[in-house]
Amino acid sequence: MSDRPAHELAHLGVHGLHTPDPARTVAYFVDLLGMDVVAVDGTATYLRAFGDYEEWSLKVIGSDRAGPEWVSWRTTSAEALERRVCGLELAGHPGRWVPADRGIGPFYEFHDPDGHVFRLYYDTRRYVAPPDKRPAVPTGFQAYPGRGAAVRRLDHVNLLARDVRACREFWETGFGLRTWEIVRLADGVGESAAWMSSSIQGHELIYTQERTSANGRLHHFAYLVDSREEVLRDADVLADAGIRVEAGPSRHTAVQGFYLYTREPGGNRIEIANGGYLMFAPDAEPYVWSYEEYRAKPGWGAALPSDFHIYGTPDVEG
């Protein structure tokens, strides 16, 4: 039998995001994406989407620059959390315990091979909707907000990495994530992208190649809506609010999701997403794209802007 950990990470969890313009960043998430403010604590604002079962999912933090504070996973149990912590320490990737934050945690904080900050946790506080936000169907978590894009939940996170292969293998060997697609570099050996998941979802964590001298940067957070028609509608919502549409609406080649990219006022790239395949086969192997095959962009979809794979947060020069 394999000693590779399996199904110990339940899903992407709460995350923190820096912004140099917290008031306008919060307004973007509330007024244009349809999220709700849960609490304000100094320079931090806690937000949630209507499909989140946890009390909050995004912590917007006022800072001198944009970029990720941390990305987290909720584990499948308290015992799974302890096993993954022990695994990290035995593998030479020790971290530190961080106190709970507004009912969620404590967290175990560590770094991936590129320097991104990650957290693991199990204990959480479930959201209880007040009377004016209770859904008609009691199995829902919150009434549909009907505001802006009305995003349902976080769909995936895309991080920039100087060594995509090292980051991919870190999650595969240490946490049992499954990789669904890989793109090779022109040399046929290195990797320029990898799409991974803890579940049958086509992607939860993506790494794409860092093309500057920086490390530990964010490419984008992606939020889910229920149909690609909503993605089209949301392009109008955002454009009419003065938010530049960076790319889309269109369809991705990898994982085949429908997308719309903007940058919130603080500078972080945010995707509104729908679709993407589900992988039910328990023995599926990743599809490995050659450099030439992926560059040909089979299927359909508009070309991405020239700086799409260069810009990330924190923003850097060269």
> pLDDT-derived band of residue 302, with 50, 70 and 90 as boundaries?
confident
Cβ distance 67 to 7 under 8 Å?
no
Q: Which domain holds residue 218?
A: 9-128+150-295
CATH of the domain at 176: 3.10.180.10
Mean pLDDT of the chain: 95
Residue-wise pLDDT for 157-170, tens only, equals: 999 999 999 999 99
Report the number of distinct structural domains present in the chain: 1
Percent of the chain's residues with pLDDT above 90: 92
CA-closest candidate to residue 45, choices 70, 11, 13, 18: 18
User: How distant, in Å, are the alpha carbons of 86, 103, 127, 153 from that of 142?
Assistant: 36, 19, 9, 12
What residues form DSSP beta bridges with 19?
62
Residue at 135 is within a domain: no
Residue-wise pLDDT for 203-217, tens only, equals: 999 999 999 999 999
Cβ distance 116 to 210 under 8 Å?
no
Cβ distance 50 to 141 under 8 Å?
yes
Residue at 142 is within a domain: no
Residue at 232 is within a domain: yes
Residue at 223 is within a domain: yes
Residue-wise pLDDT for 25-81, tens only, equals: 999 999 999 999 999 999 999 999 999 999 999 999 999 999 999 999 999 999 999
Residue-wise pLDDT for 16-26, tens only, equals: 999 999 999 99
Cβ distance 87 to 52 under 8 Å?
no
> pLDDT-derived band of residue 137, with 50, 70 and 90 as boundaries?
very high
303 DSSP assignment = P
**Per-residue pLDDT at 86 exceeds 70:** yes
Would you state the pLDDT for residue 301?
84
Three-class SS state of 200: coil
**Per-residue pLDDT at 2 exceeds 50:** no
Residue at 309 is within a domain: no
Would you state the pLDDT for residue 55?
98
Residue at 145 is within a domain: no
Would you state the pLDDT for residue 134?
96
| Alpha helices by DSSP H, the chain | 22-27, 78-90, 164-175, 228-240, 291-295
246 DSSP assignment = E
Residue at 143 is within a domain: no
Residue at 228 is within a domain: yes
**Residue 279, exposed/middle/buried by CB under 10 A (0-12, 13-18, 19+)?**
middle
**Per-residue pLDDT at 182 exceeds 60:** yes
Would you state the pLDDT for residue 52?
98
**Per-residue pLDDT at 6 exceeds 70:** no
**Per-residue pLDDT at 1 exceeds 60:** no
**Per-residue pLDDT at 3 exceeds 60:** no
Three-class SS state of 168: helix
> pLDDT-derived band of residue 303, with 50, 70 and 90 as boundaries?
confident
Would you state the pLDDT for residue 231?
97
Residue-wise pLDDT for 212-246, tens only, equals: 999 999 999 999 999 999 999 999 999 999 999 99
H or E segment at 193? strand 191-197
